[in-house]
Amino acid sequence: MKVYSCFPGGLSKALTMSYDDGKYQDRRLVEIFNKYGIKATFNLNYGQMGAEPRMSVEEIGDLYKGHEIATHSFTHPTIAREPMAEAAREILKDREGLEEMTGEIIRGHAYPNGSYSEEIKALFKSLGIAYARTTKATETYELPADPMEWNPTCHHNDPRLFEHADFIVDFPKKQYLKLLYVWGHSYEFDNDDNWDRIEKFCEKVSGKSDIWYATNIEIIDYMERAKRLRFDAACTRVFNPSSESVWLQVDTDKYIEAMPGETTHLLDAVKR
């Protein structure tokens, strides 16, 4: 018997989006994402909010409802050039401001200017950051080997964007977990006069019953729960110590939900 981790619902494909800086063009982008059921992470600089062309603190809570708000540093520095004490202040002040604003615990990050180092990664993790996105495109569809150096698939202006969309829609092999991760800045759609590009992309990838539409932190938290599953030696039973369920694929065509706080018998998996 073969046992594989799955995304929620027994799915093997996922899509996530990530947009930086919190400028006013996010209003239009969120409207498009909501129209097509796409979920995204928005990375904000609390120390610059309210200054044109960024949005005000007052409108953030309602605008990003259903999406994730993550840190992007307090003032958007090239952070690997800063002393570690200043880098720590940048992330903590950003977290504190965003958390006070939203009432949520903020645990995600996108490196401003794509700047980071091994020391920054370790520092941010010690300060409560669960993952950090880079600007390095992989052109692939894999989950991050190191969540503190999470390289996206591509920017939305990548010439292969629609090839990537076709891949995630059409890929048939359920023995793999595949993730399409697209990032950018919403103001670029104004600068490049190509709002039709993101609209067409969202239309192409939306509404698929075999794709999980998720924020960055939802993916990180879910995969961490999957890692915490405890299997017996024969891989016929699994205990889920987490507070939320995890899905498993058994052999090629059976699926089962490992319920929180329970031991699940994998021989009870159901064909789908």
Average pLDDT in the chain: 97
pLDDT over 90 (residue 179): yes
pLDDT over 90 at 1, yes or no: no
Helix (H), strand (E), coil (C) string for 22-43: CECCHHHHHHHHHHHCCCEEEE
- Domain 11-217, CATH class in plain words: alpha beta
Q: What is the mean pLDDT of the segment spanning 63-79?
A: 97
pLDDT above 90 for 61: no
The confidence band for 272, taking pLDDT boundaries of 50, 70 and 90, is confident
Q: Please give the average per-residue pLDDT across 257-266, as a whole number.
A: 98
**Identity of the amino acid at 174:** K
Mean pLDDT of all residues in 6-11? 98
| CB contact set of 42 (below 8 Å; sequence gap of 6+) | 18, 19, 20, 22, 26, 30, 64, 67, 68, 69, 70
**Is the pLDDT assigned to residue 234 strictly greater than 90?**
yes
Question: Please, where in the chain does CATH 3.20.20.370 lie?
Answer: 11-217
> pTM for the full model?
0.97
Tokens 């840190």 belong to: 71
Residue 243 three-state SS? coil
